[in-house]
Structures are given as C-alpha cells and as structure tokens.
Amino acid sequence: MWDTFIINPMTNGLLVLYDLLANNFVIAIAVFTLLIRLLTLPLNLRQQRSAMRMQEMQPEIQRIQKKYRDNPQKMQEEFQKLGYNPAESLLGCLPLLIQFPILIGLYRAILLVMGSTPQALLELTQRVYPGIDLTSLLPVDNRFLWLNLAQPDTFFVLPVLVFATTFFSQKLMTAKRNQPDKTPEQKQKERQENPMAGMTESMTYTMPLMFGVMSLQFPAGLSIYFVLSNLVGVGQSLLLRRSMPQPGATPTRRAIAEEEAVETEAEPVSEPPAKATGSSAKRNLPAGSKSKRKTQYKRRKR
Amino acid sequence: MPRLRRIISLFALVSFLLVACGTGVQNANWPGVTADGNVVYVAYGVGVIAVDVASQELLWSFPDEPRAGLLFYAPPSVGDEQVVLGDFGVSGGFFSPGTTVTVYALEAGATNSGPDVLWSRDDVATDRIVASPLQADERVYVGTSDNHVVALDASSGELIWDYETDHSIWAQPLSSDGVLYAASLDNFVYALDAATGDLIWQKELNGSIAGNMVLDDGVLYVPSFDRAVHALDPETGDELWQAAATNWVWGAPALNDDFIYYADLDGNVFAASREDGEIAWQKEVPGVIQSAPLYADGRVFVTAGDVGGDADAPTGRIVAFDAETGDELWQQSIPAALLTNPVMVDSGVVVAINEGATVRLLVFDPESGAQVWSFTPPAEG
C-alpha cells in the first residue's frame, strides 16, 4: 500500500518532471515541491487560519481557564460558547504530520530515481509506470553546483538553510500579529498559565533544530525540497496574514453577545454616530462599541 | 462524533507513518562473488569472506570486526599476491556527512586469521565502489561511482593516473595490449592508454553500461541498457554488430566458440552467433535476470529473482540450459531473490544470497542441479 500510493507515484512524478524539465533534477524537485504544496494547500490554509484564530482567542481562553479551574464542566461549556475546541489545537499538527509520509516517500523516491546503487536502480525499473522510457532518462544527472544530490551536503550549507527556513516558517506561523515582543518574564508567565502556548513556542525552536540536524544525513535533493517547501510556506503565511482581518476586527461569539448585552444597558451615546466602517458596519454597531469591547476585556482582567 | 472521527483519522495517520518508517532496505546491494580455483570470495555487506568450497571451510573474513556503516558489495579482485576490493564508503558520523571510500589490498592466501592489509587508499574515491577492481600489469584499475577510473600501483597503491567520465562506473575495467577499456553509466565506452590514462577512442551507445565487458578474439562485447549487446572493434570502437534483447542487458555476456549468451531484465535468455549477432535460441525464465550468465561444459547457467513482488516470499531461481539447443536441463528454486552472478568452482556452481546481515553460499551440482552444500559464516563474537 505504502509503495503503491506514496513511493511509486512520487518516483514516477519525479521522472516525468525530470523528462519535461530538460533533465534537470533540481528543477524537477522544485516543481515537485510546488505541486505538493498546491495539493496540501487547503489543509495548510485551514491550519494556519485556525492557528491565527486560536491566537486571537488566547486572552479569552486563559481567562476561562483561570476562572473555572476547579469546574471543568463549566470550563467546557464556556469554551463551547466561545467557539473554542481544544482538539482543534491538536489538529493544528495535521499538516506537519502529513509532511512526514511525504518526506519519507520523497526520501525513497529521490534515492530510487538517483539510482545510486545497482539495487536501487533495479528496484526503480520495477516501479516505473508503462509509458515512461527509463532508458532514455538514464543516467539521472546527480550533480548540482558542489552537490551530489543523492548524498548529504558535505559543506553544511543545506542543513543551515533547512534550519533557517524551518525556523522562519515556524516563527511566522506562531507569531502574533501586531503585538509587541514580550519580555522574558511575560513569556514565562504566559507559559505557566497556558502550557499549550509554551509547547508551541518550544516547537518553534525544536522543529527547525530537528530538521536541520536530520539534514546532515539527508540526501541533498531532499534538503533542497525542504528549503523550497519552507520558502513557499513562508510566502503562503505572509499572504494569509495580509488577507486575514486584523485582530479585534472579528470578535468572538461571546464578545459579540456581551457587547449586545452592554449596549442594551448602556447610556445613550453622546457623540453623533460616525460613518460606520469595517466589521462594525456589518453588524450595525455604533461607533465606539469597539472601545466598549476593550472596556469589557479590562473589566474581566480585574 | 466529529471528535471520534478526528481521533480515528489521527490514529490511522500515525499507523500509516509507523508502517512507512518500517519499510527500510536492510541491504544496500546484493553480494559480490568471485571464484579462484576452489576458493570463493564474497563481499556481502558487513564484510568479505574467503571460503574453500572443497574443504568446506572459512579461510578468512575481513574486517576482523564489522564497523558500523561500513559495507562491501563489489566483487573482490583476486591476484597472485593480493586480493583487492573497495567498499561502499562509511560516513564520518552524524555530524560529519562526508563519506570515506577505501580501496584495500589484502594479503592473498591468508588462512584462519584475517588477511593483512598490504595497503589501502581512502583518497581515490568519494562515492561507492560497485565494480570489481582489475589487477593487470602490476597495476590496479578501479572504477568508482564518482565517475572516475583510477590506476594505482599494485605494490604501493600509489596513484598513477585518473580519468573522469560523466557518470558512475559500475563495470569492471578491462585491459588488453596496453589499452584499458572502461564503460560508464554515461552511455560511453572509453578506450584509454593503460600507461597514461589518455583517451584513445570513445564510443557512445544508446543506453547506460552497468555490466562487465568481455574481450575475446578481437571483439569487445558490451552489454547495454539499450536492449542489446554490442560487438565493437577494440582498436577503433566501431560497431561490428549488435544482438538484440527485449529489455536492459545488465550482466556480462558469456562466450563459447560459437555463441554469446546473454540475458535481459524481462527474464529472457539468448544465444546469439558470434559472427553476426543473429539469435540462435531464446528462452524465458520467470523473474528478472540482472546477473551475468555462466557458460561451462556445454551448459549455460542463469540466476533470476522476483524483484518488487511479495517481499515476504521472494523467490530466486538457478536454471541450467543446454548451450547448443537451449533446452532446459534443470531448475532450482531458492527462497530469496537471486541476483548475484553464478560462479564455477571445481565442485559446482556457486551462488550467494543475502540473509539479513549475513550471507549464504549455495553450491549446486552442475549436472543434476542437486544442492551439494550450503554455507553461512559463523556469527561474529
């Protein structure tokens, strides 16, 4: 099953791209990376959106966790009202988990296509789909700049690039938008109050380190896939952050409900209603309700 | 319910990953076998052994202790004074991705204890040595996977010359009358001045060349992935004729006075006239034939294996044909893919199969096909 659904399609895909792209294996890997990214795009977008939403909910989640520490049932109810599902943070790892079979498959596919041992080449012949003329594609050019694509980079350039791009990609995914950097004390406090956030932060450092170290033993072709994939991921994150509404523009269900409750009790607005814009306009909220929402948050903090 | 579905999905994914991680290749290649008289030399991964088939005893093994990551698969080259072999290279460690590939000259004729290393060179190759080195005219010629042919002094290992091709060399070089012939996966056959390494001629074929060439009676026979065996003029490289196959011809052809015998990856065995390459007979064997046929005493022996099939029940075969008519004389099945070249010793036809980290030698009676002996080296320490 593993061979049929993962390794063989990847191997043949690489061979077809190698054939179409002037027998340049690095370009074949680059295009292959884009295709893989395109295939996993819906999943990645969903995960990134979910991660951003979680970040915006964090103050509210922490407040509920603190308030209902001794009443898990009530805590769950409040989470439900907020629209927060703790299992969702686990599902956030899904794109990363999906990457692993792709990586393992690609690792095998690159070694097979490179045909760097007689056994690998013989195995390749048994995996090639009819219609691909392997004879004319061989030998696959395994050289690129100083690299032998079937062997690790002996000059450590690719492992460093893998580390740097993975770190940048992770950092971008977990960084909160439009928020100033926190002091170490604040970070420590946040980690104590919210272990999940602490774990996410430690992942930002451990994942790049892990992949960087693993790249020391990866074939250079696989490390190239990693670097390109991370760069595409970074671009994707940047685009997504631009397209997502700014924090506060999409309040949680609870915040909206509370706003409405406040509005019914509130004194008449003294200033004349300003021209409504953005998300406030969509919900027909009077100008100034954003500041009221901030007051609500402050009150809760106390 | 949605949560349950998610948990099941996650569980399925993790199971899938675990299965994926478990599909590793244990051996990086099949054993490389060479015979000299009644002694068989086998490079089988973690080491190289010399076994006397007549006395049925292990003569020596090398290295004394297996070294992590160090693998040998190139068939050893056996000379009067020394046995020369190369390894697949060993990584310097997790944080040192460079690979050290070494050529060793071992004392020939060692018994009981391990052979002395007469000399070794770890600076002539940066990638695996797949081909058996060639010992000729007080020199050792080595083809490497980093695209080079190197000539070393046979007594000291000193580098004499180095010639670079465009791709890996998996075929053993061939020497005759001061000319060294080398074939590369880059589709070319090179004729080099054996003294200097200068190029005399080169001939491009339509496919890679991975198997050994054979030179006999003024004709150079070259097996190629372009589904043919090419007969070349060794002086000019001009093609005299070619004998066709239906798939890649990987192994070296075997010869007798009238025919060349060769096989292809589709499991076809051919006998073709040495005059013009016309096919005299063709037979089919189940499985893939990657190895070189063996001709001896009017019989042609081929080994075949099921590759890429049910990994739990791989099957290999050794088949004997009548060299004149192509009639099948006998066939033996082995519960392992049989991809090594069969070799002939006084007491029979020998093949080798990987068995995990070790190897098993099987000896067959050439007349009846009966298995007369099998041997597995004793486990280390």
| pLDDT in the model for residue A237 | 80
- Which chain A residues contact residue B93 at CB under 8 A? none
Contact B235, B287 (CB under 8 A): no
Token readout for A10 is: 């990847």
Which of B14, B99, B128 is opposite residue A117, by nearest beta carbon?
B128
Alpha-carbon distance B6 to B14, whole Å?
A: 12
Flag if B128 and A116 touch (Cβ within 8 Å). Answer: yes
Residue B66: pLDDT band by 50, 70, 90 thresholds?
Answer: confident
The helix-helix angle for A41-67 and A72-82 (nearest 10°) equals 130
**CB burial of residue B148 (10 Å; 0-12, 13-18, 19+):** buried
- B182, containing H or E segment: strand B179-183
Flag if A148 and B127 touch (Cβ within 8 Å). Answer: yes
| pLDDT in the model for residue A285 | 39
Nearest to B43 by CA among B57, B35, B32, B52: B32
| pLDDT in the model for residue A288 | 42
Asked which of A101-105, A221-225, A291-295, B359-363 is least confident by mean pLDDT, the reply is A291-295
Mutation target to probe the B interface, by most B beta carbons within 10 A, among A99, A138, A222 is A138
- Which residues make Cβ contacts (< 8 Å) with residue B277, sequence separation at least 6? B229, B231, B241, B242, B243, B244
Sole residue written with tokens 């992590």: B68
Q: Taking chain B, what is the end-to-end CA distance rounded to the nearest angstrom?
A: 56
Q: Cis bond leading into A139, ω under 30°?
A: yes
Alpha-carbon distance B175 to B195, whole Å?
A: 11
- Which chain A residues contact residue B130 at CB under 8 A? 117-118
Distance in Å, alpha carbon of A61 to nearest chain B alpha carbon: 20
Which of B6, B21, B185 is opposite residue A87, by nearest beta carbon?
B6
Q: Cis bond leading into B115, ω under 30°?
A: no
Sole residue written with tokens 């089988």: B44
Q: How many CB atoms lie within 10 A of CB B197?
A: 18
C-alpha torsion angle, residues A176, A179, A185, A188 (rounded to 10): -20
Handedness of CA B378, B314, A107, A14 (dihedral sign): positive
Flag if B29 and A148 touch (Cβ within 8 Å). Answer: no
Query: Hey, which of A3-7, A62-66, B57-61 has the most confident mean pLDDT?
Result: B57-61
Nearest to B291 by CA among B300, B304, B279, B308: B304
Flag if B97 and A101 touch (Cβ within 8 Å). Answer: no
- A188, containing H or E segment: helix A184-193
| pLDDT in the model for residue A257 | 52
Nearest to A92 by CA among A41, A34, A52: A52
Token readout for B84 is: 């020369």
Residues belonging to chain A with any Cβ–Cβ distance to chain B shorter than 8 Å: 1-3, 6, 87, 90-91, 94, 97-98, 100-101, 104-105, 108, 116-119, 121-123, 125-127, 135, 138-139, 148, 151-154, 156, 213, 216-217
Flag if B339 and A148 touch (Cβ within 8 Å). Answer: no
Q: What is the DSSP letter of A67?
A: H
| pLDDT in the model for residue A172 | 79
Q: What is the DSSP letter of A160?
A: H
**Length of chain A, in residues:** 302
Flag if B6 and A6 touch (Cβ within 8 Å). Answer: no
Region B176-196: mean pLDDT is 97
Q: How many CB atoms lie within 10 A of CB B315?
A: 17
**pLDDT tens-digit profile of A132-145?**
999 999 988 888 88
- A125, containing H or E segment: helix A118-127
| pLDDT in the model for residue A188 | 63
| pLDDT in the model for residue A142 | 81
CA neighbours closer than 13 Å in the CB half-sphere of residue A199: 7
Side chain identity, residue A175: A
Higher pLDDT, B108 or B260: B260
Nearest to A221 by CA among A27, A33, A26: A26
Flag if A138 and B208 touch (Cβ within 8 Å). Answer: yes
Nearest to B128 by CA among B143, B138, B150, B109: B143
Flag if A117 and B265 touch (Cβ within 8 Å). Answer: no
| pLDDT in the model for residue B336 | 84
Complex ipTM, two decimals? 0.90
**pLDDT tens-digit profile of A4-49?**
888 999 999 999 999 999 899 999 989 998 898 888 788 777 777 7
C-alpha torsion angle, residues A281, A284, A289, A290 (rounded to 10): -30
Contact B211, B171 (CB under 8 A): yes
**pLDDT tens-digit profile of B120-138?**
999 999 889 999 999 999 9
- Which residues make Cβ contacts (< 8 Å) with residue A227, sequence separation at least 6? A158, A161, A162, A165
Strand stretches in B278-356, DSSP E = 279-284, 294-296, 299-305, 316-322, 328-334, 343-345, 348-355
DSSP H helices in chain B: 2-22
Alpha-carbon distance B212 to B246, whole Å?
A: 19
| pLDDT in the model for residue A52 | 72
Residue A100: pLDDT band by 50, 70, 90 thresholds?
Answer: confident
Which of B130, B168, B308 is opposite residue A123, by nearest beta carbon?
B308
Burial profile B44-62: b = 16 or more Cβ within 10 angstroms, e = fewer: bbbbbbbbebeeeebbbbb
- Which residues make Cβ contacts (< 8 Å) with residue B101, sequence separation at least 6? B86, B87, B88, B89, B122, B124, B125, B126, B127, B128, B129, B144
- Which chain B residues contact residue A100 at CB under 8 A? 17, 20
Residue B2: pLDDT band by 50, 70, 90 thresholds?
Answer: low
Would the pLDDT of A290 be above 50? no
Which of B29, B128, B208 is opposite residue A139, by nearest beta carbon?
B208
Alpha-carbon distance A177 to A189, whole Å?
A: 20
Distance in Å, alpha carbon of A269 to nearest chain B alpha carbon: 44
- B14, containing H or E segment: helix B2-22
Residue B238: pLDDT band by 50, 70, 90 thresholds?
Answer: very high
**pLDDT tens-digit profile of A250-283?**
444 554 455 455 444 444 444 444 443 434 333 4
| pLDDT in the model for residue A240 | 75
**pLDDT tens-digit profile of B308-358?**
655 556 789 999 999 999 999 999 998 888 899 999 998 899 999 988 888
Which of B14, B130, B206 is opposite residue A118, by nearest beta carbon?
B130
| pLDDT in the model for residue A298 | 43
| pLDDT in the model for residue B5 | 57
Percent of chain B exceeding pLDDT 90 equals: 76
Work out how many CB contacts closer than 8 A connect A with B: 101
Distance in Å, alpha carbon of B226 to nearest chain A alpha carbon: 7
Q: A241 — phi, psi (to 5°)? A: -65, -35
| pLDDT in the model for residue A87 | 66
Alpha-carbon distance B20 to A3, whole Å?
A: 9
Mutation target to probe the A interface, by most A beta carbons within 10 A, among B248, B310, B338, B340 is B248
**pLDDT tens-digit profile of B68-99?**
889 999 999 999 999 999 999 887 766 677 78
**pLDDT tens-digit profile of A174-222?**
665 545 555 666 656 655 655 555 666 677 778 888 888 888 888 888 8
**pLDDT tens-digit profile of B260-274?**
999 999 999 999 999
Which of A87, A101, A152 is opposite residue B97, by nearest beta carbon?
A152
- Which chain B residues contact residue A3 at CB under 8 A? 23
**For residue A141, what are the CA distances in angstroms to A23, B146, B250?**
7, 12, 20
Q: In this structure, are strands B77-78 and B82-86 parallel, antiparallel, or unpaired?
A: antiparallel
Flag if B248 and A6 touch (Cβ within 8 Å). Answer: no
Side chain identity, residue B105: A
Flag if B94 and A216 touch (Cβ within 8 Å). Answer: yes
Contact A141, A26 (CB under 8 A): no
Higher pLDDT, A241 or B138: B138
Alpha-carbon distance A27 to B193, whole Å?
A: 38
Would the pLDDT of B39 be above 90? yes
Which of A104, A135, A148 is opposite residue B21, by nearest beta carbon?
A104
- Which chain A residues contact residue B167 at CB under 8 A? 139
Alpha-carbon distance B108 to B335, whole Å?
A: 33
Which of B6, B19, B145 is opposite residue A116, by nearest beta carbon?
B145
Distance in Å, alpha carbon of B320 to nearest chain A alpha carbon: 23
Q: Taking chain A, what is the end-to-end CA distance rounded to the nearest angstrom?
A: 57
Token readout for A158 is: 């690719």
Flag if A3 and B23 touch (Cβ within 8 Å). Answer: yes
Alpha-carbon distance B69 to A269, whole Å?
A: 78
Mutation target to probe the A interface, by most A beta carbons within 10 A, among B10, B27, B204 is B10
Flag if B30 and A118 touch (Cβ within 8 Å). Answer: yes
Residue B6: pLDDT band by 50, 70, 90 thresholds?
Answer: low
Higher pLDDT, B16 or B336: B336
| pLDDT in the model for residue A187 | 59
Residue B201: pLDDT band by 50, 70, 90 thresholds?
Answer: very high
Q: How many CB atoms lie within 10 A of CB B352?
A: 28
Sole residue written with tokens 């409040």: A78
Sole residue written with tokens 């409504």: A276
Query: A179-183 long-range CB contacts below 8 Å, 24 or more apart?
Result: A179/A247
Nearest to B40 by CA among B368, B369, B359, B292: B359
Mean pLDDT over the full length of chain B: 90
What is the model's pTM? 0.79
Alpha-carbon distance B33 to B132, whole Å?
A: 10
Mean pLDDT over the full length of chain A: 74
Asked which of A6-10, A117-121, A264-268, B189-193 is least confident by mean pLDDT, the reply is A264-268
Q: Kindly identify which residue of chain B lies nearest to residue A126, measuring between CA atoms.
A: B308
Flag if B290 and A123 touch (Cβ within 8 Å). Answer: no
Region B29-50: mean pLDDT is 94
Token readout for B299 is: 């019989």
Q: Kindly identify which residue of chain B lies nearest to residue A7, measuring between CA atoms.
A: B20
Contact B98, B78 (CB under 8 A): no
Higher pLDDT, A151 or B212: B212
Flag if B97 and A119 touch (Cβ within 8 Å). Answer: no
- Which chain A residues contact residue B186 at CB under 8 A? 139
